[in-house]
Amino acid sequence: MNQTQQNQTNRTKWAVFAAATLGYGLFYVCRLSLNVVKKPIVDTGYLTETELGIIGSALFFSYAIGKFVNGFLADRVNVRYLMAGGLLIATLVNAALGFAVPFWAFVILWAVNGWFQSVGGPCSVIALNRWFTEKERGTVYGFWSASNNIGEALTFIFTSFIVGALGWQWGFMSAACLGAAGVGLIFIFLKPAPPEWKAIPSDSAEKQTASSVKSKQLEVLKSPMIWMLALASAFMYISRYAVNSWGVYYFEIEKGYNIVTASTLVSVSSVCGI
């Protein structure tokens, strides 16, 4: 590889990093939009607190199952198309919820959102793993992991202003607009792998690659350490999403803050996490 090619590869891999980080952050915007609009929805009598809890749990259950399934799928398909497609569906769901749909339709749509939300993380990690060396990955993953904080902060600050000014429907519409921008960003800049990954000389090589991927995935499933980490992460997410899901509503109801102030307070942990 000559110097010109090396420079082009370096530019491309950092574009991939930016697309993975910002793109996954925008997944969060489409995931957390509901959390900002709960009080306006309850105040209008559109949905009750219990119904909002059911809707939220639908996303988490579908997200958990989807994360498991789509992680395996991402090893076998073009991650650019899968990630962009997942965010596109999440964007369309948010746009649809900008209209007052019936409760059970809301549950189903939010569960669909959760399923397609689950492709973002695996696709990002796979793309970064292919583009960066082992020595670079720790640093790169560290910065990429701030994507959820970026998305959370953007949701709680930006979306709350929109909802305060235009109403709860625009909480979903604004998330859809940002999600659409993320789809374009991912599709243009998230190259799935360096050129050398595309050079598969024969059908036998493809079969060997598929067999290798399957065996490595089975090794992961058999590792006790993986299951311990998964359990630890699950407990961490209980507290994290309790705050993300109901923090804004709590501050509005119990403390009497307006939506912008309540959302800004919840965003503090996300901003500090960056």
Other Cβ atoms closer than 10 A to 13: 20
Q: Quick check: 117 pLDDT over 60?
A: yes
Q: What is the mean pLDDT of residues 190-207?
A: 63
| Per-residue pLDDT tens digits for 29-83 | 999 999 999 999 999 999 999 999 999 999 999 999 998 899 889 888 999 999 9
pLDDT at position 200 is 42
Tokens read off for 98: 């900008």
Q: How far is it, in rounded angstroms, from Cα 251 to Cα 152?
A: 17
Mean pLDDT across the chain: 89
Tell me what the mean pLDDT of segment 132-138 comes to: 89
Report all structural domains of the chain as residue ranges with CATH numbers, in order of start.
16-194+202-273 (1.20.1250.20)
Report how far Cα 188 is from the mean position of its chain's Cα atoms: 18
Instruction: Assign 249 to helix, strand or coil.
Output: helix
Residue 4 pLDDT grade (very low, low, confident, very high; cuts 50, 70, 90): confident
Report the pLDDT value the prediction gives residue 125, as an integer from 0 to 100. Answer: 94
**pLDDT at 205 (0 to 100):** 46
Contact 128, 192 (CB under 8 A): no
Classify residue 157 by burial, with Cβ atoms within 10 Å: 0-12, 13-18, 19+: middle
Asked if the model's pLDDT at residue 119 lies above 60, the reply is yes
Confidence check: pLDDT of 216 > 80: no
Query: Whole-angstrom Cα distance, residue 112 to residue 107?
Result: 9
pTM confidence score: 0.87
- SS3 per residue for 150-217: HHHHHHHHHHHHHHHHHCCHHHHHHHHHHHHHHHHHHHHHCCCCCHHHHCCCCHHHHHHHHHHHHHHH
Asked if residue 90 has pLDDT above 80, the reply is yes
CA terminus-to-terminus distance, the chain: 36
Distance CA 29, CA 25 (A): 7
Residue 214: pLDDT over 60: yes
pLDDT > 90 in the chain, percent: 67
Distance of CA 185 to the CA centre of its chain: 14
Which range (187-196, 199-208, 233-242) has the least confidence?
199-208
- pLDDT(95) > 90: yes
